[in-house]
Amino acid sequence: MIKKAMASLAIAAASFGVVGTAANASVIVLGNSRASACYHAAENANATNRNVQLCQTVLREDPITERERTATHVNLGILYFYQGQYDAALVNFDRAIELDADEPEAYLNKAIALLRRDESGSRAVPLFTMALDMGTRKPALAYYGRGLAHELDGDLTQAYYDIRRATEADPGWDVPERDLARFIVEPAN
């Protein structure tokens, strides 16, 4: 049986800040183009209005491939996320999914944005799972986010296991390890 050491979900809500700062599962755009500059802005969490406008200009004006268009929507969504504009972020993640339903970073970032906006895990859990199934480049972040989503929904057992998987996926990331200390694991009677 798994119990939380602290009963308040305020801890999980505070952890949203951690997910928010780690939400950077951007999609790489190679080359020396404006689309590449948009990627670097998202990768570095440099969510200035100027960088948002840059990404919008890429989508509106630049002759980019379908792959670059998908990536740019993900990257623009990340910039909106960092600005706290979750609905605009979700629009861009949804557009990326429409363009390429197999882009795991679009699902991962959409899950994080929903988790942050709704403070509920019900819609985020399946998206984290899809990102993991599709091979996201940031599995530790996906497991951790899914763990927080389970915790918000009251499923402490799944929360514990997912947060533990996050520590296994990225042993150097100390946030999930610290969160595990909030759980008490007891043998079932």
Each residue's pLDDT tens digit, 15-35: 344 444 445 566 666 555 889
Question: Where are the chain's structural domains?
Answer: 1-24+104-189, 28-102
Q: What is the 3-state secondary structure (H, E, C) of the chain?
A: CEEECCCCCHHHHHHHHHHHHCCCCCCCCCCCCHHHHHHHHHHCCCCCHHHHHHHHHHHHHCCCCHHHHHHHHHHHHHHHHHCCCHHHHHHHHHHHHHHCCCCHHHHHHHHHHHHHHHCCCCCHHHHHHHHHHCCCCCHHHHHHHHHHHHHHCCCHHHHHHHHHHHHHHCCCCHHHHHHHCCEEECCCC
What whole-number distance in Å separates Cα of residue 130 and Cα of residue 136? 9
Average pLDDT over residues 26-55: 86
* φ/ψ bin of 6: left (φ > 0), alpha (ψ from -120 to 50), beta (otherwise): beta
Q: What is the CATH architecture assignment of 1-24+104-189?
A: Alpha Horseshoe (1.25)
Biggest alpha carbon distance in the chain?
Answer: 64
CATH for 28-102, options being 3.40.50.1220, 3.40.50.720, 1.25.40.10, 3.20.20.30: 1.25.40.10
Average pLDDT over residues 110-136: 96
Judge if 1-24+104-189 and 28-102 fold alike in CATH terms: yes
Please report which confidence band the pLDDT of residue 184 belongs to, taking 50, 70 and 90 as the band edges.
Answer: confident
Higher-pLDDT residue of 53 and 185 is 53
Higher-pLDDT residue of 111 and 30 is 111
pLDDT of residue 26: 63
Contact 109, 124 (CB under 8 A): no
Q: pTM for the full model?
A: 0.86
35-52-82 Cα angle (round to 5) = 110
pLDDT at residue 87 greater than cutoff 70: yes
159-93-80 Cα angle (round to 5) = 95
